[in-house]
Structure formats: structure tokens, C-alpha cells
Amino acid sequence: MSRRAFLQSLTALLSGLALPAISQAKPERMQWKTLQTSPVAGFQYHQGETLWPQLATGQPLTLVREPGNRFDQRAVRIDWQGEKLGYIPAIDNAAISQLLDRGETLSASIAGLKNSKNPWERIEVEVRWKV
């Protein structure tokens, strides 16, 4: 048997052994990773005060990309049950807006609530990324 024939046979054999292992491998489970925690900007200008008594820690929020926003091209609106609470602060929205633009799966929830006169301290939002 020539060296070339031997190597071809060996390669074929090893390929055949590797295929069952690959086909039986379980795909890795997608996991949620916390991307950031931020206050809600503009809480006092939208439905936040009206909805305040109904809000609770852990409730899901919806992130809505607003590329045409006249104040911020990277604007990401935060909705609770279809009502606008405010926005991810402009200083914190670069990564979130880019991920949403790419079609990545993000989720958000209320991470904390605080009775405060300062609207920036009222709601804390956790944004998670499915990776």
C-alpha cells in the first residue's frame, strides 16, 4: 500500500469516527447575560407617574428602537404593557441600539423601584442579551 493510499484510508477512517460524535453533540443552550442596568430617562415626561402604582420589580419591559428620534439617533424607548415609561439614557444606549439594529434578542425588566423625588432614581431597568 502506498503512503498516499494509506493516508487517504486513515483520513477516511478518522472522518467516519468523528461524524457520529459531531452529529450527536448537543447544541449549546442560549443564555441570557445582563448587559447593563440603567435608570429610566424622561420618566417624569411620559406615563411613569400615572403607572407608578402598578409597577413592580421583575415585570417585563419592551425595548423599542427609535432611529428617527429628533433628540437622539440612538434612542431606545422603554414601554410597559404598551405605555411609554421613558428611554434608556443617551449615555447608556450605544450598545443597546446597535444590538437592536443588528436584530439581536434583548429583554428588559424592572430591576428596582424607589420612592424618590428625583425621577432618575425612580425606576432601574435591567437589559439582558440572549447569547
pLDDT at 81 over 60: yes
Percentage of the chain beyond pLDDT 90 is 70
pTM of the full predicted structure? 0.76
pLDDT averaged over the chain? 87
What pLDDT sits at residue 96?
97
Q: Check residue 47 and give its pLDDT.
A: 86
Are the CB atoms for 61 and 83 separated by under 8 Å? no
**Is the Cβ–Cβ distance between 96 and 63 less than 8 Å?**
yes
Domain ranges (residues) in the chain: 32-130
Position 29 scores a pLDDT of 77
Residues 73-89, mean pLDDT to the nearest whole number: 96
Per-residue pLDDT of 2-60, as tens digits, reads: 666 665 665 665 555 554 555 555 566 789 999 999 999 999 998 888 899 999 999 99
Task: Output the CATH code of domain 32-130.
Answer: 3.30.70.2330
Query: What is the pLDDT, as a whole number, of residue 126?
Result: 98
What are phi and psi for residue 35, nearest 5 degrees?
-90, -45
